[in-house]
Each structure stands twice: as structure tokens, then as C-alpha cells.
Structure 1
Amino acid sequence: MGPILLTLVLHSAIPALLAHAPLRVLGIEGQPVFLKVNVPPDFLVRDALWRFLTPAEELVAISFKGTAQNVYQSRFYGRSRLHTNFSLEISPAALGDSGIFSALLVNTTGEIEKQIFHLEVYDVVSTPTIHVFGEESNPNRKSGSCEFFLACAASRGTNVTYSWAGPGGETLAGENHSALENGQVLRAKLDLSEKMASNYTCTVTNAVSAKSVSIEVQEQCQRQSGVKVTAYDYRDILLIVVPLACFLLSAAVILHAKCRSGKQISYVVAANEPFPA
């Protein structure tokens, strides 16, 4: 069975392959990622075929009678390597590599072993910054209280989530704290008559990284309770913070692209441990 015929035969098995639950693999942009097949005991692999199925189907690599062939002009050309244990390495991984991969193995008796992988490639998050905004004058606010907004933003990171913690890492709850804009903005109220810590921590996370930053709001509260300060309402915060976050993220992406085009990246294993070739 030649490589072309092998491709056609294994291609017909792909619809059934997609019915299986994929194995999730996480990767970091710019670093190598490994898709490691599990060869059953006593399954003597003769041929292997790797395909990228989504969003567009592409042939990545073939091993025919023990000889690897990585000559296919796919998006992975020059970045893919088929190891002797029939596992696939993508180096360096890119955000656009996220999708479904299939590995089809044929043994010496013609039996087929099918495995699928869901690769998710992420950009690591950067250390966020926090901006403090005093709340607009509120006639219903009790004397001796301090009300403000904290807006947290990270300039890098894909599929990020935001969370907040109070002094000592305590969970924020009750009517004095409420999260807005999917957790990116925290509205808080402190009782200045109580002697308590007033530092807050914003944590930005995604599937491969997490970064935190803390801020002390005691000075802001002292200013708010004493002299007149510039105040913002919730709409002002959205007009300032959201465009600022978008600008920082766009600038980081452009700078990152220029840096990658001008120098070779050093690779570190991101998902599975490497295995000998």
C-alpha cells in the first residue's frame, strides 16, 4: 500500500473518528507542543497518518513502513516532526494551530487504531494593572464610608478570566463588593470607622498561566473622605478602561509579531514531556 493509497483509505475513516471524545492538549504560543499517541500492546505499527481536521482539513505527516514523510505543504510545514514512536511534535506552536488532530495507525495485519486530540494553544497572560476610580457623589452614601471602582486589565493573554480577593486573600462577598464586566471591574465600599486592611488583589488567568497584582486603596479613601477629588461614574469607567485595555492588547500583539519575525525563539516544552526520537 503506497502513501497515496494509504491517505485515501485512512481518510474514509475520519467521519467515524470524530465520534470519539478527543484528548485535550494544552500548548503555549512560541513553544513546542507534543501530541503523544497511545499504541496498544502487541499493535505493531506499520503505517501512521496525522491530519489536522478543523477548521480546515490538512495532511500533516505520514510514516510509511517506518519511514517518516513530512513533505506536505500545510500550515505546519517546517514546524512538524513525526517521532519514531509515531507521536507528533509542533514547534513552535501558534495560536492558529488550535483545533482537532487525528492520528490513524495501521498495524501489520491491516487493523486501524484511531485517536484524536484537541489542541488548545494560548498566549500567556501578562501582569495586569489596576486603576482606581472614586465613585460619583452619592447622596445615599453613609458618612465615614468610602466607595470606589477598581478596574483590572492585562495587555496579553488569550481567553482570560478575572477574579478579585480582599486582604489576606479572603473571598469578597456581601453587599459591600460586586463584580462588573465579567469580573474585570470591582465595585467596593469600605467603612472608614473600622480599622481594617484595604488592599485588593486582581488575578488574571487562562488555561496555561496566571498573574496577580495588588493595590492599597487607603490613600484613595482618605482623599475621598477629606478633600474633594475627581470622581467618575460607572459609564466613565467603561469609556476609559475598555478602550485602554484594547489598545494595550493591540500594541502587545504588534510588538510580539515584530519580535518573533526578527529573532529565533528558544523553545521549552509546554504540554507533555518530550520523548526520545
Structure 2
Amino acid sequence: MGCRFWLWLLVSLSHVCGTSRGTGERVLGTLGMATTLRVPPEFQNLTRRFGEATWKRHTEDPKHKLVLLRYTEGNYTNYKMGRTRFHEVDFSLEILNTSRQDRQLYEYSVNKGPAEEVLQIWLDVFEPVSDPRIQHLSWSMANGSCTITLNCTAERGDNISYSWVNQDLSTPGLCSSSGSILHLSYPLQNTSISCSCRATNPVSYQVVTFNSSGCSYKQDDSSRLTRNQLILVVLPVVLVMIFIMVICWRRHTACKKQEHPPVAQATGVHTIYSQVQRVERRRSHPTEHPPCTTIYAAATGQPLDKAPGPSRAPSPSSSSPEQPQEPTTVYACVMMPVA
């Protein structure tokens, strides 16, 4: 292992470095959206010159690579149809619907015969930031100033960072903060305080604004009920109140009917036949029954079948209390005084 060995090792390394040269860059992909892996002009010229190129993707196994596309003299074979799209104009590869599994190292290699030019692209995938929301954590009033603690959060997104900035130039530095928590303190005479929270990640950002007009929980505009939420809250309450009012009205009507029962129907009209004897002189035959005069009288009141007296005529068949009773005929004989 003298000088000859070290000379051979140096020549081998120089050969390897001369036959393959790699350059790398980083591409940011958005989850659920298309991501394009672009080829720089240098590699575009090499591809047109030599006419052979290949797109590959690394896997979890460092010894294994997945071939995505092969290009040869104007023709190409896409091994991931439906997942990728090849652009012949600039030889770029478009991933149609980026997923977290696409986060990997990609290679674009140009075959130059005994040598090879390799372009390495690292694809990083991020979920975009959703709309942030401002929440009150605490508030207090003391010594003529208002102190509020706010928290800005977004429900979805990868690697989110938060920052607070002033929207009102008249109060510089009042809302400056580099995190999601903001401790805000201002005099009560300040009637207009405006602070903005910015939620950011490598592929997107969202902004929400806090507007203050006093010192209370009502300052948080983002926590107010929307019109649809207000309808969903108020409508069931109104329906319940109407239902209760209908039940109370029915009970009140039923109580009135019990206190004032309907007037009973008028009793039937009963006809009484009376015989009254006329005044005449005493005849020679006292044993004879003096003649009588019949008087028709109409009477109302208690049914005749309940009235006392031996001269009551038999009443017809009884009827139900609800039905009016039929007229009843009563025959009474009244003797007139004899002169």
C-alpha cells in the first residue's frame, strides 16, 4: 500500500466526480393542490442536446429508487398516470394532488453517454393555514387603564407562526408581539384600538383583526354570533313561548266554562184544566151535582209528576233531563159557591 494505491484511489474519485454531478434545491408543496417540480434552463439544454432524461423518486429504502418517467428523443413514458403530468416544453413534472406521502427527494437525471447530470429536488408538503380566531383569556380595569390578554389560534395548518402588529398608526408599538399571546394594556380614554394577528406557514398566511371600543369581552369581533347562529338560538325559544301561551289560553277557557255553566233550558209549559162551578140558586134537588165551568190555564214550573195532590193525572213516560218535558194536562174541579 504505497504510493501506487493512493494514486489509484485519487484517480477513481476524480472519475466518479467527473461522471456524475448533482445539484439540489427545495420546493414547497401545498397539501391537496398541484405542485410543479421545475427543471432549470441548464438541464433543459442538456436534455435537448442528448435526448435522454429520467424522473425518479427516493423511497424509505436508500438503496431503492422509484422511476416516475422516462424521456427519449421526444417520446416519454409516464409510470404514474393520474398522479403526475409531464410538460414537454420545459421537461417539468407536475404532481396533480399533493399528499403527505409525496414529501420526498426527487431526481432529474440527463444521460450524456458515459456521464450523467443529476438534479436533486427536495419536496416539502405543508397544510395551508385556516382562518385564525381571537379569544379573550382575561381582562381587568385598574388605575384608569384596561388590560386584556388575547390568544390567536388557527385550527388547521402545519408549522404555524403567529405575530401581532398595529393597524392604527396613532398607537405604535401597542400591539407588537411575536407569539400567539398578546398582553394589551391601554388607557380607557382610547376609544379605538386595532390590532391584527397574522398566522403564517411556509405556503400560506391568514390575518384577523381585533377592534376595541371599550374594556369588556364584547370587544372580540371574531366571537360574535353570526346572523344564522342567532336565528338558531332565538327561533326555538320563540316557538316554546308560543306553545306555552296556547296551553295557558286553553286552560283559562276551560276554567271559565266551569265557573259559568250554560243556562238550563226552560221547563215545559203545562196546561191545567180547571172546572169552576158557577153561582146558581139552590134547586129543589140538592143531590144533583152542580154544573162546572172548565177553565184553561197555562202554567210553568215544576213537572206535574213531582207536584203533590190526589188530582194529579198520570204523567207520560219520563224523558232524559237534557230534553224538554212535554206538556201535561191536569183536570181540577172547583165548586162555585151556591147562593
The answer to whether the superposition gives a TM-score over 0.5 is: yes
Partner of 1:25: 27
More strand by percentage: 2
Aligned-residue offset at 1:178? 7.1
Partner of 2:180: 184
TM-score normalised over the length of structure 1: 0.59
Secondary structure (helix, strand or coil) at the match of 1:44 reads helix
- Which of 44, 56, 69 is the equivalent residue of 1:61? 69
Unaligned runs of at least 5 residues, structure 1: 1-11, 225-277
Aligned-residue offset at 1:31? 2.2
Q: Matches of 1:32 and 1:214 in 2, distance apart?
A: 31
Partner of 2:297: none
Aligned length: 194
Partner of 1:120: 124
Partner of 2:133: 129
Partner of 1:101: 106
**Off by >6 Å, runs of 4+ in structure 1:** 169-172
Secondary structure (helix, strand or coil) at the match of 1:168 reads coil
Partner of 1:250: none
What letter matches 1:189 in structure 2?
Answer: S
| 1:165–1:172 contact (8 Å) kept in structure 2 | no
Equivalence map 1:118-267=2 (5 Å) = 118-135=122-139, 142-168=142-168, 173=173, 179=177, 183-193=179-189, 195=190, 197-219=192-214, 221=215
| 1:178–1:188 contact (8 Å) kept in structure 2 | no
Aligned-residue offset at 1:91? 0.6
Q: Matches of 1:198 and 1:51 in 2, distance apart?
A: 54
What letter matches 1:133 in structure 2?
Answer: L
Q: Is the alpha carbon distance of 1:67 and 1:177 closer, same or farther for their aligned partners in structure 2, counting shifts above 3 Å?
A: closer
Aligned-residue offset at 1:157? 1.9
| 2:168–2:193 contact (8 Å) kept in structure 1 | no
Aligned-residue offset at 1:183? 0.8
Aligned-residue offset at 1:164? 0.7
What letter matches 1:214 in structure 2?
Answer: T
Aligned-residue offset at 1:223? 7.1
Aligned-residue offset at 1:52? 1.6
Q: Matches of 1:210 and 1:78 in 2, distance apart?
A: 30
What letter matches 1:146 in structure 2?
Answer: C
Relative contact order higher in (CA < 8 Å, ≥ 6 apart): 1
What letter matches 1:184 in structure 2?
Answer: S
Q: Matches of 2:146 and 2:135 in 1, distance apart?
A: 16
Partner of 1:50: 55
Output one character per residue of 1:8-51: Cα deviation in whole Å (capped at 9) or x when no partner: xxxx99xx666x3x223232222222212133546513221112
Secondary structure (helix, strand or coil) at the match of 1:187 reads strand
Q: Matches of 1:87 and 1:223 in 2, distance apart?
A: 53
Considering only aligned residues, what root-mean-square deviation do their CA atoms show, in Å?
3.2
Secondary structure (helix, strand or coil) at the match of 1:200 reads strand
| 1:178–1:187 contact (8 Å) kept in structure 2 | no
Partner of 1:268: none
Aligned-residue offset at 1:105? 0.8
What letter matches 1:36 in structure 2?
Answer: R
What letter matches 1:83 in structure 2?
Answer: H
Q: Matches of 1:169 and 1:17 in 2, distance apart?
A: 53
What letter matches 2:186 in structure 1?
Answer: L
Q: Matches of 1:204 and 1:150 in 2, distance apart?
A: 14
Aligned-residue offset at 1:172? 6.4
Q: Is the alpha carbon distance of 1:169 and 1:124 closer, same or farther for their aligned partners in structure 2, counting shifts above 3 Å?
A: farther
Q: Is the alpha carbon distance of 1:213 and 1:66 closer, same or farther for their aligned partners in structure 2, counting shifts above 3 Å?
A: same
Secondary structure (helix, strand or coil) at the match of 1:189 reads strand
Aligned-residue offset at 1:65? 4.5
| 2:21–2:117 contact (8 Å) kept in structure 1 | no
What letter matches 1:155 in structure 2?
Answer: E
Aligned-residue offset at 1:106? 1.4
